[in-house]
Amino acid sequence: MNRRNKMMKNSNWRKILLGSAALLTLSGCSSSGGDDSMDSGTAGGGSSDSTGAGEQVTLKIPVYDRGVEGVPNVTDNYWTDYVQENFGNPNNITVEYVAINRSDVMTDYALLASSQDLPTILMEYDYPKLSQWANEGYLATFDMEEFKEAAPKYFEQMDAEGQMAFTEMNGETHFVLGNRPNWSNGFNFQQFYRKDWLEEVGYDEYPKTYSEWVDAMTKIQDAGLADHPAGGTMIPSQGADLPWIFMDFPINEEEWASYISAVIPALGFDANKALLERENNHYNLGFTDPEYYLTDTASAQAKFANGESFVFGSYISNTMDWLISFYENNPEAELGIVPAAEVDEEAGTSAVYMADNPFGMIVGFSSLATDDEIQAAWKYLDWIADEDNLKIMQWGVEGENYTINEETALPESVVDYEGDKKQGYNNNIDYWCIVTASRVVGDLEDQISAVSPKGLPQEFNEEILAITNRKSELYKEAYAVNFPSFSVPIEAEVEYSGSLTETYKELRDKLVMADPSEFESLYEEYAQQFHDAGFREIVEERLQAYKDGNSTRLLEVE
């Protein structure tokens, strides 16, 4: 096996290393300099085994550092020691976890690449990020048959989920993929709203139409419950303003492939225009916090917990500190869960919703890694995919991290556990997400109960179940849409995405805060500016890839 067939010219790698530090985003990486190239070729089937009495192999595994208080050190805790003792030591492998800033993933990986210190495993949920890594030479290619032999459990899961179509780029195998249970009707992210406020202003359920929602927000303001009930946050650095409900239905597949992205918002797309016009309306009605552009997610979360806004969305888990704070600060309050969108003919919106991709974590292997290191990575994937190992990493130790419910015979997490075996964020998800995106136990109701908030004055299982079932119905009506994925690199996206993301944030804020009478003309002006800055090339490349058969298609109803 030869892993030294260079897929990227030395001069190209030097160009990346010598790039400006300002480009340490999706657009590339930077360094003070360097002449070494990043070798990339075919991995797998190394000449020596990493088990037994052979040389010690170091396996570097990324783990998200989310900056969450109250969780153990992400690279040094009981569970990292557990992996070393139960996987590393028996296989003569030294396991090192590498902290990756969850809010700035691409910069961290770019810095590691520029210092020739990439972890053995590279992984992310967003396909465009892995595509960029493959395009920039970060990832080794490999033989899937060799991976199958080395990691049969992981391969079997991937094959059973029909994920092989996503493993290749430019005709070569770059990726393996984790599982994503309930991908078409996922329930891990929910929006919480002030049900008590709605009742106080005359609504006994969440508004069904946009006009009712505007009326409710106005009445909440007039009642003095909140000055700016819609709250608001600054736009995130990557992926935002997804205009699902504003897209014409049925969805035009060419438009979907051209404009819908987890990386770059589509300024100039009709659905984006409709979305921003609504945001402009919210701002000028005072529903949106006038300082939203200075408000990060943590600040918006704190404002909701302090009783200053009507709604806030978050991934759910058994322990949600900000919800605990909410009830402490607002002991008489009652929350609800925002239902799935419905068709609103008056407002011209549909019931389209964002489904997940039919895969979870996308996993690649460093082109700098030795054959033995990649073999160690494959061995690790198969170890954690083992049913018993996955269970203990997800649930912990019975009697400490979880108990067994006598009625259902199913495990239930101990939400206030503070012992030495305390798990990391969201039940250790950042360690086992490489295999699956969520814990699965029992039927759908059991699965929701397993991840829903516990220890609060309210329980949300029934509402979440109702929303999940409604999504299942909408899926059958073709309202589920996810991101397109491309089996070829979108070169213009790599080149322009960093600068365009910053440009979009600036132009978006101007549009949101504009006088409504000027919105139309400003939108056309800014859309032209955005297209001229590189977005036109991205759209053209994406459309061509779609026409060439190098992209996924809209979800087909089963």
- pLDDT at 87 exceeding the cut of 90: yes
Strand boundaries in 405-531, DSSP class E = 411-413, 480-481
Backbone angles phi, psi at 215, to 5 degrees: -60, -45
Residue among 163, 164, 173 at smallest CA distance from 134: 173
**Parallel, antiparallel, or unpaired: how do β-strands 57-65 and 93-101 relate?**
parallel
Sign of CA dihedral 141, 540, 106, 498: positive
The pLDDT value recorded for residue 162 is: 87
pLDDT (average), residues 149-173: 92
The pLDDT value recorded for residue 170 is: 82
The pLDDT value recorded for residue 332 is: 96
Sign of CA dihedral 122, 124, 126, 127: positive
The pLDDT value recorded for residue 467 is: 96
- pLDDT at 440 exceeding the cut of 60: yes
- Can you tell me the distance from the alpha carbon of 74 to that of 70, in angstroms, rounded to the nearest whole number? 11
pLDDT (average), residues 519-538: 98
- pLDDT at 79 exceeding the cut of 70: yes
pLDDT (average), residues 240-257: 93
Distances (CA, A) of 372 to 3, 149, 178, 332, 361: 12, 15, 22, 59, 23
Give 237's pLDDT tier (boundaries 50, 70, 90): low
Query: b or e along 117-126 (b: 16 or more beta carbons within 10 Å of the residue's beta carbon)?
Result: ebbbbbbbbb
- Can you tell me the distance from the alpha carbon of 214 to that of 212, in angstroms, rounded to the nearest whole number? 5
- Can you tell me the distance from the alpha carbon of 37 to that of 39, in angstroms, rounded to the nearest whole number? 6
pLDDT digits (tens, 9 = 90+) for 268-280: 999 999 999 999 9
The count of other CB atoms within 10 Å of the CB of residue 350 is: 21
pLDDT digits (tens, 9 = 90+) for 103-134: 889 999 999 999 999 999 999 998 888 888 98
pLDDT digits (tens, 9 = 90+) for 537-546: 999 999 999 9
- pLDDT at 452 exceeding the cut of 60: yes
Residue among 363, 361, 368, 362 at smallest CA distance from 137: 368
Backbone angles phi, psi at 286, to 5 degrees: 85, 5
- Can you tell me the distance from the alpha carbon of 25 to that of 111, in angstroms, rounded to the nearest whole number? 10
pLDDT digits (tens, 9 = 90+) for 377-391: 999 999 999 999 999
- pLDDT at 398 exceeding the cut of 90: yes
Query: Is residue 325 within 8 Å of residue 303, measured between CB atoms?
Result: no
The pLDDT value recorded for residue 458 is: 96
User: What is residue 335's DSSP assignment?
Assistant: E
Name which residue leads in pLDDT, 199 or 551: 199
pLDDT digits (tens, 9 = 90+) for 313-343: 998 988 899 999 999 999 999 999 999 999 9
Only one residue has tokens 């492939």, namely 257
pLDDT digits (tens, 9 = 90+) for 30-73: 322 333 334 444 555 433 344 444 689 999 999 999 988 889 99
- pLDDT at 503 exceeding the cut of 50: yes
- Can you tell me the distance from the alpha carbon of 165 to that of 177, in angstroms, rounded to the nearest whole number? 11
Cα angle at 86 between 85 and 92, to 5 degrees?
A: 70
**CB burial class (10 A; 0-12, 13-18, 19+) of residue 138?**
buried
Strand boundaries in 170-218, DSSP class E = 172-173, 176-177, 189-194
Mean pLDDT estimate for the chain: 88
pTM for the full model?
Answer: 0.76
The pLDDT value recorded for residue 238 is: 53
Q: How many CA atoms lie within 13 A of 496 on its CB side?
A: 20
- pLDDT at 6 exceeding the cut of 70: no
CA 306 to mean position of chain CA atoms: 27
Report the percentage of the chain scoring pLDDT > 70: 89
Query: Is residue 447 within 8 Å of residue 441, measured between CB atoms?
Result: yes
Query: Is residue 238 within 8 Å of residue 26, measured between CB atoms?
Result: yes
Name all domains of the chain by residue range, CATH numbers in brackets. 10-183+358-390 (3.40.190.10), 189-356+481-547 (3.40.190.10)
